[in-house]
Structure 1
């Protein structure tokens, strides 16, 4: 077929009226167009082949326009036959539009398959680029890093393989930095809990020491005041009665002994208070260590569960890949049994798997 001319010329002017007026008068021209289009073998595997499909479809459209314009001229010149001409024009347009759609269908189907292939690869890269770690612990971030690091990037990504390698490297850098930041934050939080517990214990000890000291001071002052009052009374009564003086002196000795006893008691209470504060500080430290350990165990459990889930997903993907390989291998063997080469059989199975063969699918 020539690529420099239209698919079909218009009827000669002297016979145009007869052609357009007759029922299916344009059929010879339409049939010529169909025959030449049917002789064209579409090839979507190369850019040149796809351009040729678009070119032949355009030429069908140009032939449709040329024939339609010829009919329009007849309608303008011959008002008495517009209905016949319009009917033939309509039939011609519908016929050639259907033919145009038929010619272009392989190119449209190739484009749809190409768009789906590109979208699938881009989805894989988008998954690799996902570095969101909001709310994750350092252990979970580490599991995410391990999962991404074990993600295999190969030639199945075709022209997107290099982009996937770059995305994986960039995401690993971001995730590793996020894990370092989270580990630092968790260490700071643990240290803050420890310092808070130590401060509470020290505050409690200071309060008890202050209370004990205030009690001792109060007892000492009361004893001194009482002694002074008794000394004053003794001085007043000394001149009146020796016996009373001796009694008051004896009372003072007893009071001093009592004061000493109270002071000793205050000292013992302070020692007991110090010992109690030390016990409570140790208990607070033990509670803090227990809380930190429980938090570590809980975090380890979450990390183990996350790692187990990753292993399960990897096993599932491996099982799915193995199953698909087995099914596609059986399909290839069946095609090869019809004297088809292994390379061609493999290519056919892959085209069916990618949806490039209409109305044929592989059931997994």
Structure 2
């Protein structure tokens, strides 16, 4: 088989593509290619090795002849569904935009409510901290005044009991009391500062908790939005997948319908062919019967004519009759006009 013949055999026209590029639709072409290269060349000779290379190249050429129209057909199918995909994508995008626009007032209101709630919580915490600091300052002042009064009373008593003490002892006593007062005031201020620091830390912690809560709510809103977007994408992908499956199902049904129509057309053609062949056979049989009967009649006529000729001759030769008399006698015999006589043909 030459390359030209192979190309002619493997040529696929565009209108054949829908019925060929389906499951096992190319099997007969594959079988044909197998038959074309079904050889076992002798590899020990240069000619055999060249033949093997030629057969492999032939398979590649045959593959290209089948693959190229198939790829063209696939591109055509992909192009045919692009408008539907674009319109579906536009519809989903418009719906998502409309959904966000419709919900925007609610989203802004929720964000404002969260902000107001956070500000109110912070204000309450700061108010509590200030109240605690004021209470602590008042208690410190009262404690300081009480200690001062007690110290004055002690000084009076000490003065009465030690009126004759030396001035140096008095100075030491006063210095000692002043040191005690100083230490007491310093200790009180340290405790107040420590409490204020604890209050500030507690307020900062509450503020951090509030911020963390706000961040958590923000993260939850973002997560909810991402989840909604993901669900929308999944819905779009599911829609596209269902659309693709529907197109594939429609294509399969179309191919099945085409195959059914082709099969019915072939069956009808086979039926018509059988009927035509039967009619032709009947016509030929009838013609043969008519011809046989005509031939039989012609043969019988010739035989009867020959017998009649022989009878006329016999009557002329043996009965002394002339030709006209002999013919008249023959007609009488043929018409059974003479009793007890007949002619056997």
**In which range does the TM-score fall when normalised by the shorter chain?**
0.3 to 0.5
Q: Using structure 2 for the length normalisation, give the TM-score.
A: 0.41
Structure whose alpha-carbon radius of gyration is higher: 2
Q: Using structure 1 for the length normalisation, give the TM-score.
A: 0.39
